[in-house]
Amino acid sequence: MRSNSQEPKWLSIQECANHLGVHKNTIRNLLLSGKSRILDELVELTRWHRDYARAGLRDALRLKIVKPRRGRAPTYGPRVTVALVKCWAVLRAPAGKRLAPMLAVVVPLLRRDGELDLTGAEAALLVRISAATIDRRLAPERARMMSRGRSHTKPGTLLKSQIPIRTWVEWDDKLESIRD
């Protein structure tokens, strides 16, 4: 045990890994008392629970093969996204929550008029698309519509005089608390 005057030293995650690396080759060769001493030391240095530290030492001896996960195939192809953008523009850029119920009305009308070149399956996908997916698919289009940079409007007395604001006190430019 440490005395109260001595500050405990806590290890970072990298130092814990190095600590495990130092001991992983010698664990097999030590007797039970030696393993217990190593486990006690690891618990004291890392403040891990004893069972968690034991599992960490045991897992350090095994080689783990990490397999990358396969991603899901996209449900909506580029043709559906182009048609979605067209429907969104026709309806004057509503949010996905308002656009989703309107797609059931707009898609058949635009297909009938030849504005959308979609197959029946693609049209069915477009009609049942969720509002959250609509917002994700339209994010690049919305970003293109937004202007970039500052508006270059500088606040001043001319701007203040053009904007009528009713307050309990009139404008006073001489006060230090109101700054331009």
Q: What is the pLDDT along the chain (180 residues), one digit of tens a residue?
A: 445 555 556 665 556 556 666 554 454 454 455 777 888 888 998 899 999 988 888 887 778 788 898 998 999 999 999 999 999 999 999 999 999 999 999 999 999 999 999 999 999 999 999 999 999 999 999 998 887 766 666 666 766 667 766 667 665 656 555 554
Domain shared by 49 and 86, yes or no: no
In a domain, 123, yes or no: yes
Which structural domain range is residue 54 located in? 13-60
In a domain, 125, yes or no: yes
- Global pTM exceeds 0.75: no
Residues 6+ apart with CB under 8 A from 122: 77, 79, 80, 83
- Domains in the chain, number: 2
Please say whether the beta carbons of 88 and 138 come within 8 A: yes
In a domain, 1, yes or no: no
CA–CA distance, 53 with 162 (Å, rounded to integer): 69
What's phi and psi for 53, nearest 5 deg? Answer: -65, -40
In a domain, 6, yes or no: no
- Element (H or E) spanning 25, and its range? none
In a domain, 72, yes or no: no
